[in-house]
C-alpha cells in the first residue's frame, strides 16, 4: 500500500501517525467495498445458483478482507514505530508460510469445496454415499466441510478435502433393479406372464413417479427375462428394471416386491431359497 504522498505533507510528530492511520483504514475499507462490489457483479454475470453464489461470494469477500486488513494493521503498526517498514513484507511472508505449513488441509478443503459447489455434485436434501463409508442425507454444504445425517440420526461432518468418491442417489434419475429367483421346477412361462403383469401394474399405478423424458417418453418397468441359472439358490434369476424419479427409488422397489409376492401367491408360484441335502451315512 503506497502512502509515499503523505511524506510531502508536514505534520507534527504526534499527529502524523494518527492521520496516516486514518487514511490507511479509509483506503482499506474502500478496497474491501470494491472487492465486494466486483464479486457481486461477476456472480451476477455468471448467473450461478443463488444459494451457491452467495456462499462463494461470502468466502471470497472474507479472504480478501482478511488479507487487506492484515496489511493495514502492519502499516499502522509501522507508522507508530512498533515495527519497522521492512517488517511489513516479512510479516506478509510469515503469514504465507503459516498458511502453507499450518493450513494445508484447510486450503485443500476450501478448494475441494469450490469444486463441489461449482459442479453441483450434491445439494442439501440429497441422499449420498461418501468414500463408501458414510451414507445419509446431506444437511449442510460448506467450503470447509459437508454434514450428512445417517440413518441412525447421527450427524457426520466430513472435511471436503477428504471426499474422494461421492455417490448421489438423488441425481436426476435412478434405476430400480428387482431380482427374483424362482425354482427350476416352476412353470416358467407362467412366471414370465406374472412378472409382466406386475410391470404393467406398477407402470399404471405409479406412472407419475417414473422418470419422464419430455412429456411422453419414460423408462417403464420391464422384464429382462432370465439372466442366469443360479444353482446355488436352486432357481432361475429374473430381473425387472425401471427408471424412476430418484426420490421414489426405494418406495417403488418395495412396492414392486410386495406386489410380486402377492401375484406369486395368487398364481401358486414359489420363490427359490437355498436347499441342503442331508445324506445318511449308514445307508451308503
pTM: predicted TM-score of the whole model, two decimal places: 0.61
Q: Does the structure show a pLDDT above 70 at 91? A: no
Q: In the chain, where are the structural domains located?
A: 4-102, 121-168, 174-266
Per-state percent for the chain, helix, strand, coil, to nearest 5: 50, 20, 25
* Calpha distance 233→274 (Å, rounded): 5
* Calpha distance 224→237 (Å, rounded): 10
Q: What percent of the chain is predicted at pLDDT more than 70?
A: 74
Q: What percent of the chain is predicted at pLDDT more than 90?
A: 35
- Span 174-266: which CATH code? 3.30.70.100
pLDDT at residue 46 in the model? 53
Mean pLDDT for 24-35 is 85
More confident residue, 255 or 13: 255
Right CATH for 121-168 from 3.30.70.260, 2.30.30.60, 3.40.228.10, 3.40.50.300: 2.30.30.60
β-pair partners for 237 = 181, 228
Answer for the pair 199, 221: CB distance below 8 angstroms, yes or no: yes
For domain 4-102, the CATH architecture is Orthogonal Bundle (1.10)
Q: Flag the least confident range among 147-161, 198-212, 270-284.
A: 270-284
Q: Does the structure show a pLDDT above 60 at 194? A: yes
More confident residue, 113 or 185: 185
* Calpha distance 125→244 (Å, rounded): 18
Amino acid at each position: 500500500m503506497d502512502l509515499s504522498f503523505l511524506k510531502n505533507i508536514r505534520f507534527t510528530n504526534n499527529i502524523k501517525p494518527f492521520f496516516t492511520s486514518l487514511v490507511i483504514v479509509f483506503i482499506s475499507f474502500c478496497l474491501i467495498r470494491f472487492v465486494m462490489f466486483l464479486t457481486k457483479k461477476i456472480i451476477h454475470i455468471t448467473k450461478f445458483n443463488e444459494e451457491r453464489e452467495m456462499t462463494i461470494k461470502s468466502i471470497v469477500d472474507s479472504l480478501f478482507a482478511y488479507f487487506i486488513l492484515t496489511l493495514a494493521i502492519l502499516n499502522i503498526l509501522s507508522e507508530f514505530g512498533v515495527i519497522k517498514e521492512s517488517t511489513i513484507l516479512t510479516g506478509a511472508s510469515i503469514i504465507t508460510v503459516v498458511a502453507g505449513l499450518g493450513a494445508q488441509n484447510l486450503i485443500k478443503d476450501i478448494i475441494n469445496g469450490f469444486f463441489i459447489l461449482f459442479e453441483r455434485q450434491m445439494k442439501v436434501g440429497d441422499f449420498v454415499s461418501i468414500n463408501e463409508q458414510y451414507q445419509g442425507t446431506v444437511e449442510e454444504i460448506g467450503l470447509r466441510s459437508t454434514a450428512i445425517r445417517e440413518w441412525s440420526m447421527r450427524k457426520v461432518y466430513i472435511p471436503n478435502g477428504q471426499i474422494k468418491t461421492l455417490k448421489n442417489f438423488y441425481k436426476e434419475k435412478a434405476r430400480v433393479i428387482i431380482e427374483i429367483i424362482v425354482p427350476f421346477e416352476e412353470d416358467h412361462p407362467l412366471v414370465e406372464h406374472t412378472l409382466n403383469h406386475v410391470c404393467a401394474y406398477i407402470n399404471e399405478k405409479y406412472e407419475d413417479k417414473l422418470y419422464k423424458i419430455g412429456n411422453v417418453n419414460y423408462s417403464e418397468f420391464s422384464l429382462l427375462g432370465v439372466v442366469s441359472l443360479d444353482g446355488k439358490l436352486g432357481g432361475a434369476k429374473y430381473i425387472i428394471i425401471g427408471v424412476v424419479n430418484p426420490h421414489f427409488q426405494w418406495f417403488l422397489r418395495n412396492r414392486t416386491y410386495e406386489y410380486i409376492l402377492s401375484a406369486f401367491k395368487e398364481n401358486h408360484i414359489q420363490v427359490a431359497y437355498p436347499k441342503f441335502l442331508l445324506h445318511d451315512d449308514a445307508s451308503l
